[in-house]
């Protein structure tokens, strides 16, 4: 699966120029997703999936949306109000033609946990339920790529927490690559494998999620650590995560032991020490080595990137601290992270 | 009621039903074009459709006579090629009624199509539905109350149509003498008042049944769509 995008699209208020070629799991903005989905015809550009050209304005190619086999989960779910949940789910199956094993109602219904909603009408569903049905509907149309345009943006915090695990399962189990648009760094850190950063209509960064999110200009200068749940500490309501950099103690997770999770650590939550800290309240101390120091625009703060046994971790410090500790590339340091600074997303 | 009056009532029902059903597909198509498409000459089409609403009915009838009459260009062509004759036949009365009811039909359907969320239509497209299927499975069911309202308006207009009909196909008992034409005839002859009154009551009854029927139907569809 590969996706090539090269578009140049001017509208009254903005001008989108996007050229990237990437594996699935990236984020972009709504217009870009609409162009990929076939809802908007770009002024200039080329879009190809797995080598098949969907749009090429130079050669006058434009495959209409109903022949692209690209599923689209909209921010506002867009369920058909005159059809039951079951008919909504099966709508795309009429047209999927070759069918295939992936388009199986029972397995999709199980995956999304919507079995008891089948005979209901869309009006009677909660926002989170609507979004899960919309995901199932797109999935049952047997797409080769799934577009998700901020599928959680219209939901409150509790509903987001309800849906995120389903999207994670979808990513891991459904076998359909997902192009996911989001403004939420936490969502991206949790879901994405490859990230494309769009700033004012321009692609500013493309790459694996851990690399991109640790760059200063891509959001908050945080880091993503791949981890598995090693054990739970019931007495203190903590979970212990095993990462390449070492063990992390975080507030109790609902994920079972052995589950793969991601820890997103903001740069401002990381403290550095030249000696192993003793008698300190913070539970997490990771040994590492300074790789690079990137001062911010006005020189007051700097992002210090560490290599902790192969994992990348970023700490945001004041310029004064950098000087006081005489930090420089190659210097061994200890990163201190308070357990309470982890938030569940 | 006299046999003559019964004939006029039956003929009126036949003419109005034929006019409504025959113009419905065209009405939906043109309403969709006006609601959803941008094309050259759109305002011209819009004006043409609405013209019978503002022209004197006699003028519309006369235009029909000179174009669809036996020696009119369209009338002669249809007669020679397909053997279809409109002039002085009940079919001509149906044509006159369809033309007069068409603006009401198109207007109601157009408004209801415009009320259908285009975002639902594009969602159906991304699920693989061809635009024609999107129309049949999403747009049409969602605008059905408007289609029914338009059809009832067209039917009611056809039941009452007088000026264009009498100008185009005259007032021939048993062939083109519809309910309004007979009421008009009866008011012109001495002692016809009783018959005219009977037909007036019949006319009111038919209109009310049609209106109530459409109201019920639209409500049932509305309830089904909004059902919780």
Q: What is the pLDDT along chain A (345 residues), one digit of tens a residue?
A: 455 666 554 444 444 455 554 433 333 466 778 888 888 877 777 777 777 788 888 888 888 888 888 889 988 889 999 999 999 998 888 777 655 544 578 888 888 888 899 999 998 898 888 988 999 999 888 888 888 888 888 788 777 877 888 888 888 887 788 888 887 777 888 888 877 777 766 677 777 777 777 665 555 667 888 888 888 888 888 888 888 888 888 888 877 888 778 888 888 888 888 888 888 888 888 888 998 888 877 778 888 888 888 888 888 888 888 888 888 888 899 998 887 777 654
Overall fold of domain A3-213: Rossmann fold (3.40.50)
Chain centroid, CA A317 distance in Å: 26
Is B228 an interface residue toward A (CB < 8 Å)? yes
Domains of chain B: 3-226 (1.10.3720.10)
> How does pLDDT run across B48-95, given as a tens digit for each residue?
999 999 999 999 999 999 999 888 889 888 888 888 888 889 999 999
The residue of chain B with its CA nearest to that of A119 is B228
Question: What is residue A141's predicted lDDT score, i.e. its pLDDT?
Answer: 86
Burial B53-92 (b: 16+ CB within 10 A, else e): eebebeebbbbbbeebbeebeebeebbeeeeeebbbebbb
Tokens of B104: 């009401």
User: Which of A79, A90, A95 best tests the B interface by mutation, with the highest count of B CBs <10 A?
Assistant: A95
CATH match of A223-341 with 3.90.180.10: no
Distance CA B143, CA B166 (A): 34
Burial class, A86, CB count within 10 angstroms (exposed 0-12 / middle 13-18 / buried 19+): middle
Is B44 an interface residue toward A (CB < 8 Å)? no
Chains A–B, number of C-beta pairs less than 8 Å apart: 74
Question: What is residue A11's predicted lDDT score, i.e. its pLDDT?
Answer: 45
Give B205's pLDDT tier (boundaries 50, 70, 90).
very high
Residue among A262, A268, A249 nearest A345 (CA): A262
Q: Check CB contact under 8 Å for A72 and B130.
A: no
Is A161 an interface residue toward B (CB < 8 Å)? no
CATH 2.40.50.100 boundaries in chain A: 223-341
Question: What is residue A152's predicted lDDT score, i.e. its pLDDT?
Answer: 85
> How does pLDDT run across B165-190, given as a tens digit for each residue?
999 999 988 899 999 999 999 999 89
Q: Check CB contact under 8 Å for B226 and A81.
A: yes
């Amino acid at each position: 699966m590969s996706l090539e995008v090269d578009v140049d699209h001017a509208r009254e208020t903005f001008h989108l120029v996007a050229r990237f070629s990437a594996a699935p799991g990236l984020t972009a903005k709504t217009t870009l997703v609409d162009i990929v989905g076939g809802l908007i015809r770009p002024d200039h550009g080329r879009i190809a999936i797995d080598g098949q050209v969907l749009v090429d304005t130079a050669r006058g190619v434009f495959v209409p949306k109903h022949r692209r086999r690209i599923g689209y989960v909209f921010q506002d779910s867009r369920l058909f109000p005159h059809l039951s949940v079951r008919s909504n789910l099966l709508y795309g199956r009429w047209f999927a033609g070759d069918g295939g094993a992936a388009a199986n109602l029972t397995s999709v219904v199980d995956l999304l946990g919507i079995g008891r909603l089948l005979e209901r009408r869309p009006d009677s569903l909660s926002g989170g339920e609507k979004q899960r049905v919309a995901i199932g509907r797109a999935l049952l149309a047997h797409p080769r790529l799934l577009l998700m345009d901020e599928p959680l943006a219209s939901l409150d915090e509790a509903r987001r927490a309800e849906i995120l695990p389903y999207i994670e399962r979808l990513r891991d189990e459904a076998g359909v690559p997902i192009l996911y648009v989001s403004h939420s760094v936490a969502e991206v850190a949790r879901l994405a494998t490859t990230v494309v950063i769009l700033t004012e209509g321009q692609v500013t960064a493309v790459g694996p999620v851990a690399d991109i999110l640790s760059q200063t200009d891509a959001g908050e200068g945080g880091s993503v650590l791949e981890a598995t749940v090693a054990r739970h500490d019931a007495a203190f309501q903590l979970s212990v995560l095993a990462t390449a950099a070492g063990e992390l103690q975080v507030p109790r997770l609902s994920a079972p032991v052995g589950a793969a999770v991601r820890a997103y650590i903001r740069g401002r939550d990381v403290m550095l020490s030249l000696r192993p800290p003793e008698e300190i309240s913070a539970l997490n101390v990771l040994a590492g080595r300074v790789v690079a120091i990137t001062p911010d625009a006005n020189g007051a703060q700097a992002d210090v990137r560490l290599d902790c046994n192969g994992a990348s971790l970023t700490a945001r410090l004041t310029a004064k601290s950098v000087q006081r500790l005489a930090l420089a590339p190659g210097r061994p340091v200890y990163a201190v992270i308070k357990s309470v600074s982890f938030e569940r997303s | 009621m006299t046999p003559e009056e019964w004939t006029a009532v039956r003929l009126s029902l036949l003419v109005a039903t034929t006019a409504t059903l025959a113009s419905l597909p065209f009405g939906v198509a043109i309403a969709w074009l006006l609601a959803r498409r941008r094309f050259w000459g759109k305002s011209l089409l819009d004006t043409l459709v609405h013209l019978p609403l503002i022209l004197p009915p006699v003028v519309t009838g006369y235009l029909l006579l000179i174009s669809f009459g036996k020696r009119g260009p369209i009338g002669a062509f249809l007669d020679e090629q397909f053997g279809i004759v409109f002039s002085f036949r009940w079919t001509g009365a149906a044509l006159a009624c369809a033309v007069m009811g068409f603006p009401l039909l198109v207007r109601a359907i157009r408004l209801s199509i415009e009320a259908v969320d285009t975002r639902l239509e594009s969602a159906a497209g991304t699920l693989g539905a061809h635009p024609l299927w999107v129309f049949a499975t999403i747009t049409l069911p969602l605008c059905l109350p408007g289609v029914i309202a338009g059809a009832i308006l067209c039917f009611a207009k056809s039941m009452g149509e007088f000026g264009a009909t009498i100008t185009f196909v005259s007032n021939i008992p048993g062939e083109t003498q519809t309910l309004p034409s007979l009421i008009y005839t009866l008011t012109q002859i001495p002692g016809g008042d009783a018959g005219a009154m009977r037909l007036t009551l019949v006319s009111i009854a038919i209109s009310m049944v049609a209106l109530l029927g459409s109201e019920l139907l639209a409500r049932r569809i509305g309830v089904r769509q909004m059902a919780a």
